[in-house]
Chains A and B, each alone.
Chain A
């Protein structure tokens, strides 16, 4: 994706912190928000996709997240990493989307993001692996899935996770551990059934 940054005289853009872009937006340079989108959209879309299991809901949740972040930018406090603050919103949007989806009784189990967006169709093996992993992730309890993805995929620290989820560090560690144990079990059982077929 082509990334375009608004010009900011006096700065090397790559070294500017997110907080500086937030300040610029609040000072009226709304184009500076583009940089925040470009820095964080990929991670947000990835988390939402893994969390919700399909691209459409993930894009909706991510779009809503950025719009809410934009409208509420004045609430951002620089003592917290912008990413953590953004994930705080995103996690809430994903939770809401999951509840909405529950109501619709709709569930997609296959992650077809890469297939849909890649110019070259990936090898069937890689696609199968991704689909299998998404199936296993989907099978986790939402709390465990959320904690596992934040820790091992988005690589947040437990303190960041606690700030983003509102859940205590001990509880998060327990959720991650249980999530890992369950995934391991499911993968082992999947292998056993593969052997049996």
Chain B
């Protein structure tokens, strides 16, 4: 065994333990067979608890003022890591998230767009001059690559689309000629996952 006094001993041990334990094809086949025979996953809230115990999941509903406070807190804590689509469309244009001078592509509210009772208009932009097709996928469109195509704006050459989104946190990505790509100017959704990272936009209530 390597010498424990050697400061690299931990790296060596970890590397050895990190050696892949190969997945046996027969085990994989059996697992997929079990999955195929299992009931299809339910989208209902009362599905079985995955963790084997009956822990109750609590949720807290906050009103419009609470939402605004929470959004402000998020911005303060994240030091600009989270963009918040602020408040009423058109009325508070000055409160929109600051845009990078080099790349103003983060989702933003559309000025003058009439707000609905439940949704806020958010504009997505991407600078991809060589792309031939760009689509928006996200939790709001079931990650469907044909549901929300972007169109190229003649004046700027940017790919753009505007959507009415309900208040809340939305995870999304662009699909550029088939490749899933995070929004380069928005915060990332989750780290260390497989595939390309996704982005996040927060939409607050139109009535706040």
The listed residue (B13, B24, B169, B180) touching A12 by CB distance below 8 A is B180
- B1-38 residues at the A interface, CB under 8 angstroms: 1-5, 9-10, 13-14, 16-25, 27-28, 30-32, 34-36, 38
Establish whether residues A180 and B10, one from each chain, have CB atoms under 8 Å apart when the complex forms.
yes
Q: Which residues of B have CB within 8 Å of A157?
A: 191-192
Q: Within the complex, what minimum Cβ distance (angstroms) separates B144 from chain A?
A: 8
Establish whether residues B21 and A49, one from each chain, have CB atoms under 8 Å apart when the complex forms.
yes
Q: With A72-B49, A191-B1 known to touch, is A133 a contact of B13 (CB < 8 Å)? A: yes
The listed residue (B18, B22, B143) touching A117 by CB distance below 8 A is B22
Q: With A20-B195, A152-B10 known to touch, is A45 a contact of B31 (CB < 8 Å)? A: no
Establish whether residues A45 and B190, one from each chain, have CB atoms under 8 Å apart when the complex forms.
no
Whether A175 is near chain B, meaning CB under 8 Å from some CB there, is no
The listed residue (B1, B24, B189) touching A190 by CB distance below 8 A is B1
The listed residue (B20, B44, B50) touching A46 by CB distance below 8 A is B20
Whether A174 is near chain B, meaning CB under 8 Å from some CB there, is no
CA–CA, A49 to B21, complex, Å? 8
- B173-207 residues at the A interface, CB under 8 angstroms: 173, 175, 178-181, 189-198
The listed residue (A16, A37, A81, A93) touching B28 by CB distance below 8 A is A37
What 1/0 mask marks residues of chain B from 144 to 172 whose CB sits below 8 Å from any chain A CB?
A: 01100000000000000000000001010
Establish whether residues B10 and A71, one from each chain, have CB atoms under 8 Å apart when the complex forms.
no
Establish whether residues B13 and A81, one from each chain, have CB atoms under 8 Å apart when the complex forms.
no
Q: 7 pairs across A/B with beta carbons < 8 Å?
A: A11-B175, A63-B34, A113-B22, A130-B16, A187-B1, A187-B9, A188-B4
The listed residue (B23, B173, B190) touching A42 by CB distance below 8 A is B23
User: Closest 3 CB pairs between A and B?
Assistant: A72-B50, A10-B145, A17-B195
Whether A100 is near chain B, meaning CB under 8 Å from some CB there, is no
The listed residue (A15, A34, A83, A149) touching B179 by CB distance below 8 A is A15
Whether A129 is near chain B, meaning CB under 8 Å from some CB there, is yes
If over half of A's interface residues share one DSSP class (helix, strand or loop), that class is named, otherwise mixed; here it is: helix
CA–CA, A117 to B22, complex, Å? 7
Q: With A67-B38, A133-B17 known to touch, is A117 a contact of B180 (CB < 8 Å)? A: no
Whether B94 is near chain A, meaning CB under 8 Å from some CB there, is no
Whether A123 is near chain B, meaning CB under 8 Å from some CB there, is no
The closest CB in chain B to the CB of A33 belongs to B35
The closest CB in chain B to the CB of A159 belongs to B191
Establish whether residues A184 and B180, one from each chain, have CB atoms under 8 Å apart when the complex forms.
no
Q: A12-B179, A16-B180 are in contact. List 13 more A-B contacts (CB 8 A).
A: A1-B23, A1-B28, A19-B190, A28-B40, A30-B36, A45-B21, A49-B21, A63-B34, A72-B50, A88-B51, A113-B21, A153-B17, A188-B4
Establish whether residues B34 and A80, one from each chain, have CB atoms under 8 Å apart when the complex forms.
no
Whether B43 is near chain A, meaning CB under 8 Å from some CB there, is yes
Establish whether residues A80 and B43, one from each chain, have CB atoms under 8 Å apart when the complex forms.
no
The closest CB in chain A to the CB of B146 belongs to A10
CA–CA, A67 to B32, complex, Å? 9
CA–CA, A1 to B41, complex, Å? 26
